[in-house]
Amino acid sequence: TFKSPSSSFGDLLGFIPEQYQKYLKDVETGGNVAFSGFFKGKYDEKNFPGFDVDIKVDNGRVKYPKLPEEVKNINVAAKISKAEGGMDLTLIDVDKLEATVAGNPLSATLHVATPVSDPALKGTLKGRIDFTSLRQAIPMDSVDLKGIIEAVADFDGKYSSIEKQQYENFKTTGTVSMKNFEYGSKSLTEKVAISTAEIKLIPKTITLTRLIGNMGQSDFSANGSLSNYWPYILKK
């Protein structure tokens, strides 16, 4: 068994690989992390020990030096568990994953069962990002981003429903929209601007209902769809 009754959120950043630690120099952190779990049972060709890993983050915050805004309200409640036996007994429960980035709220949940035989997937994603304010909290020296992206998605079902093309049994709804988006970098001679774009998600397809933008003096528009995306995402 193992347990960390309470640790600072800054301790969690120690798990980030060394080559990225330079980006965290002088970063201010706050909040608490609780980490606990156990491993128990026998291991052989067919069986694996049972285990339970429980992670909680309460009111975490990260503030980069020289930037006026911060990433705050970081809250996580996640658990990965498995009874003694095959790996198909694994359960993943992320009941809460949320943060506020320079006033932009983000939240998600995820639940996975029977991941080997027939993954049962359930989750949500909701968020809004204003890239102008995001630059006030996260360093983005190499790119120039502006505009707003809003996203909401909801999915619930078993992977076998997708394989059998029984899309009505695999709930997927969602939209992603962009407004007044601009992207510029040193590798581009002109900025790419998208005045408006909207993507809709259903179990069978991802549909780009409209996209209007320009690059320099050239304007463009697009629409279309991407089918069979769930089997591609979950291929292995």
3-state helix, strand and coil shares in percent for the chain, rounded to the nearest 5: 15, 60, 25
pLDDT top residue among 10 and 56:
56
Residue type, 113: A
The two three-digit tokens of residue 42, written as one number: 């026998």
**CA-CA distance, 231 to 172, in Å (whole number)?**
14
Average pLDDT rounded to a whole number, residues 14-33? 86
Q: Which residues contact 164 (CB under 8 A, 6 or more apart)?
A: none
Beta-ladder partners of 127: 106, 151
Per the confidence metrics, is the pTM higher than 0.95?
no
pLDDT class of 78 with cuts at 50, 70, 90: very high
pLDDT class of 183 with cuts at 50, 70, 90: very high
pLDDT at residue 7, rounded to an integer: 84
Q: Which residues contact 105 (CB under 8 A, 6 or more apart)?
A: 98, 99, 126, 127, 128
4-18, 85-99, 185-199: which range is least confident on average? 4-18
Q: What is the pLDDT of residues 116-159, one digit of tens each?
A: 999 999 999 999 999 999 989 998 878 899 999 999 999 999 99
Burial of residue 225 (number of CB atoms within 10 Å: 0-12, 13-18, 19+): middle
**CA-CA distance, 58 to 33, in Å (whole number)?**
6
Residue bearing tokens 């809004």: 128
